[in-house]
Structures are given as C-alpha cells and as structure tokens.
C-alpha cells in the first residue's frame, strides 16, 4: 500500500459544528488509553469536503529530558531507530531492522534520562510513547485501518482521553484502497436527531 487519497464529506444534519477526529491504534502494545488524534477536521459545514492522504510511509522523531526534539527521519515498517549521545549532543539515528517486519521500534540508548518517541504519518503525529527509560524501547505497529468519530475539545497531535477513544467505534479498513470518500451522515437536533454514521463511498481499489 502506498498512498490512499481520502476525502471526508459532510452530508450530516449536524447543527453544532462538531469536530471530526481520526486516529489509529498502536496494536503492538496496549495503547487503547493513549491514542493520538491524528487528524481533527474543524468547521467543515454541510456539503463541504476535506481531502487528506493516508500514506504507508512514516517519519519518526524523539525528544529528550532536556526539551530537545530531533529532526524527523523517514521510516517504514520493519525499521528500528535509537536516541544516542553524540559529540554534539543527543541525536536520533537508524539502528537496523526491527525484530518484526511490521513494527517500528524507537529505543533509548542514552545512559541517563527518559525520552519520548513520535511516529508521524503524512506530517501529523499518529502515535507517541513518553517516558522511555534508558535501554528501553517503544514498539509501534498499525493495521491499515482508521477510527473516525465526532468529538469535542480534541487537539490534533495530542493524546485523547480514554472516554473519547471508547466512544469512537467506527473502524474503516483501507486495505487495497486507492481512493475513497468518507461520508458522514446523521446528526440533527431534538427528537429527529440520529447518531452520526461514517461510510465509504466512491471507492477505487488499488
């Protein structure tokens, strides 16, 4: 899978200018409580659409206990990276193959100080792990699926609380898809209000 062209379309009866959040779950560890809001779509009115891409390529970065952030390095599944102390200071570098072909590993190879690891997809944080102790590592693995739902008070790139995560149950598989519309329907006010639903339309297979 390379890049999937996606298009969020609002065909709902939403009256509250709701925010739509899209995220993934790291299936390598029990990350259910700390999923990151990968995309937050705001102010997308009825009839509006919001195009975005879902790439199989990643970028990784790390931050140290001194508040320093590394540049982002291109990454694919099956690769491992580490934070090391170089002559100029803390740096991220390629370590070698990961232990499994579908994993991305970020290791803390510093003698002291915890680090945080970040995995980006299409320029936005898709997952993170904080407080990785020296000699420890974070493992990231993603299925080709996204979760999508309506939420409020969510910031793109930030960890969501478990209540929001558990309330979003729509899982969409992107396996084998080249492009598709994600259409939101439902909503409304008063007795006629219905739950929001999300469905794939105009699907083109890869």
Strand duo 137-140 + 79-86: pairing:
unpaired
Instruction: Determine contact, residues 41/19, Cβ cutoff 8 Å.
Output: yes
pLDDT tens for residues 24-83?
999 987 655 579 999 999 999 999 999 999 999 999 999 999 999 999 999 999 999 999
How high is the pLDDT of residue 32?
54
> What sign results for the dihedral spanned by CA atoms 100, 104, 109, 112?
negative
Q: In what order do the strands lie in the sheet with 194-205?
A: 49-55, 3-10, 177-187, 194-205
Strands (E) in 43-144, as ranges, are: 49-55, 58-63, 73-75, 79-86, 89-97, 104-108, 115-121, 124-132, 137-140
Neighbour count for residue 122 (Cβ, 10 Å): 15
How high is the pLDDT of residue 31?
54
Ordered by start, the domain boundaries in the chain are 3-55+144-205, 58-140
pLDDT tens for residues 86-110?
999 999 999 999 999 999 999 999 9
pLDDT tens for residues 131-155?
999 999 999 999 999 999 999 889 9
CATH 1.10.3470 corresponds to the domain 3-55+144-205: no
């Amino acid at each position: 899978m390379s890049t999937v062209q996606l298009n969020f379309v609002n065909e709902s009866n939403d009256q509250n200018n709701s925010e739509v959040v899209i995220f993934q779950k790291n299936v390598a560890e029990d990350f259910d409580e700390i999923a990151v809001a990968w995309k937050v779509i705001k102010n997308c009115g009825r009839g509006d659409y919001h195009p975005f891409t879902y790439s199989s390529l990643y970028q990784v970065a790390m931050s140290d206990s001194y508040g320093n952030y590394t540049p982002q390095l291109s990454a694919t599944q099956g690769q491992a990276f580490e934070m090391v102390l170089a002559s100029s200071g803390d740096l991220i570098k390629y370590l070698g193959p990961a232990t499994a072909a579908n994993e991305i590993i970020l290791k803390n190879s510093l003698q002291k100080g915890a680090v945080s690891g970040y995995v980006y997809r299409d320029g936005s944080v898709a997952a993170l792990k904080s407080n990785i102790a020296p000699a420890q590592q974070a493992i990231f693995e993603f299925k080709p699926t996204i979760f999508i739902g309506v939420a409020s008070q969510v910031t793109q790139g930030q960890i969501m609380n478990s209540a929001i995560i558990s309330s979003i149950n729509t899982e969409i598989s992107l396996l084998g898809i080249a492009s598709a519309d994600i259409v939101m329907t439902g909503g409304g006010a008063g007795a006629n209000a219905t739950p929001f639903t999300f469905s794939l339309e105009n699907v083109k297979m890869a």
